[in-house]
Structure 1
Amino acid sequence: MSELQDLVALIRANTPLIVIETRDEARVVELFRQALMQVWRALYSWSITEGLRRIDFDRAEATDVAPDASATLAAIRAAEQRGIYLLFDFHPYLGYASTQRQLRDIVQRHDAGTDKGMPHVLVLVGHEVRLPPELDLLAVRYTPRLPDAAARLKIVREEAEAYAREHGGRRVEADGAAVQEIVRNLRGLDPVDVRRIARQLIYNDGALGANDLPELARLKFELLNRSGHLHFEFDSARMEDVAGARRLKRWIDQRRSVFLGAEAPAGLDPPRGMLLLGVQGCGKSMLAKAVAAGFGVPLVRLDFGTLYDKFHGETEKNLRTALASAEQLEPCVLWIDEIEKGLAADSGNSDGGVSRRVLGYLLTWMAERRSRVFLVATANQIDALPAELLRKGRFDEIFFIDLPDAETRAQLFALHLRKRGLDPEAFDLGGLATASDGFSGAEIEQAIVAALFSAHAAQAALSDFLLRAELRQTRPLSVLMAEQVSALREWARGRTVAAD
């Protein structure tokens, strides 16, 4: 059924108490006025500032009822005509026992053998409506549907027309393809937020184009991430900034069009996620950022450390909120860094079973989600991950990021030298790659940084000699933690897909 039909059904059923959580009060009023065309009731609105008014006519008519909550409920109970009462921000007054009792008397009018007045429909409207438990059990929560693509496009056009009126008829320059992309990316927002973001994009420069998409992603993220559990990664790496990982890059390239497409081709499911396992310092975080750039979508990072709360049930609630926010940001890449630290396998006793419940909800979300949120999880310790997360089907693929080979190490030297304004052609990249056998990408970068400090102290230019000297003085992780690194590489062989 449509949104309006759902509402009409509730009114026809004489639902005594409806709760609507929204910031768009005008839309609620308009919905109920439309519903009156199919099922007639007297329609009233109430607020503490304007009191009780009848609003089912073209003009609102004030009543002589005092604006306080108790007098309003007394008037509703005494009314001799069935009515719909939209009570805006009424719930704070339910903290008083007398007001709560009055409301319960009206709501429970259908009790057998009682006659408590006409079957009114009371509607509590607010941004966040929290009811006492005894009232919450009696309420039906109705959620207005979010605007579809046609409604969002209409709002964007209205804002463009408003801009033209304010600027002497100057029309908004609009790229048709970019406008469709903007409308698509406004999905998941209510009409108020769609209008606000559309207005901001238009009024920035009087145009709508592809250059507005990054700003739209930022505005949408700031709007949805009220919990603070997600972090918007502004500096996503380009695929060409990553050395090696040829197989992983090809995997992303093959799936880009299916992930971004409105509908997947027959027989193909949209890509859902990958686990990046590897030796520390070998570029898992860089690759997570590059995946977002490869798909051409925003990257948001979920910090498991911020989810955990000492109060029972709050941790799971925080995870649900964070994942719901990520879904509203679709299409996007959701990155969970060092996932083993948040989902470490245990007996369920050390933290009261919180980790197990968090894992359970995450696995359910991974299996049932339909949104275009591509999950990238990174991990360093495979033995700390629960077996349920690793079974086939949880991730599309598990890639292993190994220590770089000689060719990749030469690319890493070139990338980091170029990043610091130096010409890689002036260095013996092949010789440096040989000298850095067993080094990770992070260790190669730090060797360059240390050599630059040595060159600065000696007031000399960076040279192969200084770079080799730093490499000789460094003991890489593959030497310091040889047993652990070897065990991880051995486990990954035959169980994962090599990224390079």
Structure 2
Amino acid sequence: MENNSGIAIETLIRARYPLIYVVSFEENRVESELLLITQNRKKQIYKWSITNGLENPDGSFLGEFKDPIKVLEYILQSDINGIFVMKDYHPYLNEPVVIRKLRDVAHSLKTSMKNVVFLSPVLKVPVELEKEISVVDYNLPGKEEIGQIVKSISESIGEADKLEISKNPMLLQKVVEAALGLTAEEAENVFAKSLVQTGDFNLKIILSEKEQIIRKSGVLEYCHVNENMKGVGGLDELKKWLNKRGKAFTPEARDFGLPEPRGVLLLGIPGCGKSLTAKAISSMWQLPLLKLDVGKVFSSLVGSSEENVRRAIQTAESIAPSILWLDEMEKGFSGLGSSGQTDGGTTARVFGTFLTWLQEKKTPVFVVATCNNVSQLPPELLRKGRFDEIFFVDLPSKEERKEIFSIHLEKRKRDYKGFNIEKLAEKSIGFSGSEIEEIIVSSLYDAFDDGKELNQAYIEKTIENMVPLSQTMEDQIKGTREWAKIRAKKASSIEWENETASVRKLEM
């Protein structure tokens, strides 16, 4: 498979784009690609760094050109058919003199055979240079390249035929897929670590290392999922919809003409299973779950917030098919309306980057976004094309509460048949799923403290003493329901009872 990033860079070089900005942590991979391009185009390659100065094609160094301005003057004056690779030049792009000099370079190089390639893991383009610089995000290694790394490391130990992957093609495929999302160097390191510790390619070691690397970003979290759809009470319409969409990730679905599912927005009342469902989807579809903490995206450094969200998107795409989970999305983008006055437009730019990706993404990254307060969501997020569907998750109905009580009793090693589930469901009108779980947990504490076994009386007493969130948030819930009537699909086919919390209190 061809390297699309390499093709993009070569195209820009052939088209005589003067300034090209390649965003990547992988200097060695990008330099190898650029060396191949220069050989094919019969050009010379020069490399600059603040520590060594300018490196000639023969490997010698011109130390007098360590200064970031002097090297630009050298590039302007030299009569060379070549590429100048500027490593980690981004810190100097804040300086007015450098910006002006680069504009001079850009104008001059358009009529020459020279190109300047900035190579950095951080994207920082001054406003003055936005029209002169072309940006290329260098792709992380794909399956084919990871496979070559596995083969190379296997052969290096001299006993490749004794490794399990040489006997089991399925294991080889899983090892390659487990390493997706890592740089080439990270993949090499973790494969070597696995061989040293276990004598073979161990999936657990590879995945654990991958989790650590993803966590280093501080934005994405690799979620271990124990939940499944059996632990989600009710929401039958949502479950049916997810079951259908899960089949659409297969090659057979592509042959049939189906596109990959884009995502789902779950909005509704707090504690009614939105986050639990997001985790359960990962188990249901057997796909990795990455949680994006929007709050951690924002940084005090200028340009860092935009870079963080781009890197998070790139990581999610690199391990596709995957699930990207945004919990309580409205809180992450809460300052969007006043972004221009409060943060210089950072929130608006981050949101714009995410929104564009959500609309245009081609990779199978399924986005699960949850929201408690729909009034805080920007309207452009809700239009068709961003998500496949918007589901409204209401308070559980009587039948759903019976199921939720049963689930949580079974989860705590109690036979639900020994309880009057019907009566518990009747008494708990207005309670959310998480509140029902808390009823069981609190009742267990009371029973344990009394030195007795959990029984019906403990649970009923806990219900009587607990005030549900639906009673304190009655107006907000009513407003959300009204909004969802014409704008969202119901997650459950069973209508929630129309009783109020006050009626429930009177009955008790």
Q: Give yes or no for TM over 0.5.
A: yes
State which of 359, 383, 387 in structure 1 corresponds to 2:375. Answer: 383
Identify which range, 132-141 or 460-469, moves more after superposition: 132-141
Match of 1:293 in 2: 283
Measured after TM superposition, the shift of residue 290 of structure 1 is 1.0
Structure exhibiting the larger radius of gyration computed from Cα positions: 1
User: Is 2:464 the counterpart of 1:472?
Assistant: yes
Measured after TM superposition, the shift of residue 253 of structure 1 is 1.6
Contact 1:281 1:443 in 2 (8 A): yes
Written as runs of structure 1 = structure 2, the 5 A alignment for 1:389-408 is 389-408=381-400
Quick one: which amino acid aligns to residue 158 of structure 1?
S
Measured after TM superposition, the shift of residue 156 of structure 1 is 1.8
Match of 2:492 in 1: 499
- Distance, in Å, in 1 between the alignment partners of 2:64 and 2:165 is 48
- Distance, in Å, in 2 between the alignment partners of 1:208 and 1:33 is 32
SS in 2 for 1:264: helix
Match of 2:329 in 1: 339
- Per-residue CA deviation, residues 240-275 of structure 1 (Å, 9 max, x unaligned), is 111222222222122213135496243422211112
- Distance, in Å, in 2 between the alignment partners of 1:79 and 1:355 is 43
User: Is 2:143 the counterpart of 1:149?
Assistant: yes
- Distance, in Å, in 1 between the alignment partners of 2:29 and 2:336 is 49
Q: 1:230 to 1:236 in 2, by over 3 A?
A: farther
User: Is 2:193 the counterpart of 1:196?
Assistant: no
Measured after TM superposition, the shift of residue 221 of structure 1 is 4.9
Match of 2:316 in 1: 326
State the TM-score, normalized to the length of structure 2.
0.76
Contact 1:217 1:298 in 2 (8 A): no
Q: 1:170 to 1:67 in 2, by over 3 A?
A: farther
Provide the aligned length of Structure 1 versus Structure 2: 485
Measured after TM superposition, the shift of residue 460 of structure 1 is 1.6
Q: 1:189 to 1:78 in 2, by over 3 A?
A: same
- Per-residue CA deviation, residues 311-334 of structure 1 (Å, 9 max, x unaligned), is 777655544443344333422222
Measured after TM superposition, the shift of residue 293 of structure 1 is 1.7
Measured after TM superposition, the shift of residue 473 of structure 1 is 1.9
- Distance, in Å, in 2 between the alignment partners of 1:131 and 1:490 is 45
Quick one: which amino acid aligns to residue 396 of structure 1?
D
Q: 1:43 to 1:273 in 2, by over 3 A?
A: closer
**Where do 5+ consecutive residues of structure 2 fail to align?**
494-508
Measured after TM superposition, the shift of residue 201 of structure 1 is 4.9
Q: 1:73 to 1:204 in 2, by over 3 A?
A: same
- Distance, in Å, in 2 between the alignment partners of 1:351 and 1:492 is 32
- Distance, in Å, in 2 between the alignment partners of 1:484 and 1:122 is 56
SS in 2 for 1:254: helix
User: Is 2:456 the counterpart of 1:459?
Assistant: no
Q: 1:31 to 1:450 in 2, by over 3 A?
A: closer
Measured after TM superposition, the shift of residue 78 of structure 1 is 8.4
User: Is 2:229 the counterpart of 1:229?
Assistant: no
User: Is 2:30 the counterpart of 1:38?
Assistant: no
- Distance, in Å, in 2 between the alignment partners of 1:45 and 1:184 is 34
Contact 1:258 1:265 in 2 (8 A): no
Match of 2:264 in 1: 274
State the TM-score, normalized to the length of structure 1.
0.77
Match of 1:115 in 2: none
Measured after TM superposition, the shift of residue 27 of structure 1 is 3.6
State which of 295, 308, 323 in structure 2 corresponds to 1:305. Answer: 295
Q: 1:397 to 1:67 in 2, by over 3 A?
A: same
Name the structure with the higher helix share.
2
- Per-residue CA deviation, residues 379-403 of structure 1 (Å, 9 max, x unaligned), is 2233333433334443222222222
- Distance, in Å, in 2 between the alignment partners of 1:366 and 1:394 is 6
Identify which range, 40-49 or 173-182, moves more after superposition: 40-49
Over aligned residue pairs, what C-alpha RMSD do you find?
4.4
Contact 1:334 1:376 in 2 (8 A): yes
State which of 159, 166, 169 in structure 1 corresponds to 2:153. Answer: 159
Q: 1:202 to 1:262 in 2, by over 3 A?
A: farther
- Distance, in Å, in 2 between the alignment partners of 1:122 and 1:233 is 41
